[in-house]
Amino acid sequence: MAEMLDAVLRHLEALVSYDTRNPPRLIGTGGIFDYLRAQLPGFRCEVTDHGDGAVSLLAVRGNPRRVFNVHLDTVPSSSAWTADPLSLRVTPDRAIGLGACDIKGAAAGLVAAANATTGDAAFLFSSDEEANDPRCIAAFLARDHGFNEAIIAEPTRCEAVLAHRGISSVLLKFKGEAGHASGANAMNANALHQAMRWGANALALVEGEASARFGGLTGLRFNIGKVEGGIKANVIAPSAEVRFGFRPLPSHDIDTLHVRLGACAAVGALERYEETFRGPSLPAGDIATAEERRLAARDLADGLGLLIGNAVDFWTEASLFSQAGLTAFVYGPGDIAQAHTADEWVALEQLQRYADSITRILGTDPS
Give the chain's end-to-end CA distance (angstroms, integer): 25
Is residue 149 annotated as a catalytic residue, yes or no? no
Q: Quick check: helix, strand or coil at residue 334?
A: coil
Exposure of 29 in the CB half-sphere (CA atoms within 13 A): 10
Taking a C-beta distance cutoff of 8 angstroms, is the pair 188, 175 a contact?
no
Which of these, 276, 278, 279, 274, lies nearest to 261 by C-alpha position?
A: 274
Taking a C-beta distance cutoff of 8 angstroms, is the pair 157, 278 a contact?
no
Gap between the Cα atoms of 337 and 156, Å rounded: 10
Gap between the Cα atoms of 196 and 201, Å rounded: 9
Q: Measure CA 158 to chain center.
A: 17
* Amino acid sitting at position 362: L
Q: In a 10 Å sphere around its CB, with 0-12 CB exposed, 13-18 middle and 19+ buried, how is residue 65 labelled?
A: middle
Gap between the Cα atoms of 57 and 142, Å rounded: 15
Segments in the chain forming alpha helices (H): 2-17, 32-38, 105-115, 135-142, 186-189, 191-207, 254-262, 287-303, 318-323, 348-364
Query: Catalytic: which of 13, 129, 130, 149?
Result: 129
Query: Residue 240: beta bridge partners?
Result: 174, 229
Q: Where are the beta strands (DSSP E) in 194-248?
A: 213-214, 217-218, 221-229, 239-247
* Amino acid sitting at position 6: D
Which of these, 95, 27, 159, lies nearest to 351 by C-alpha position?
A: 95
**Angle (nearest 5°) at CA 239 between 237 and 243:** 120
Catalytically annotated residues: 129
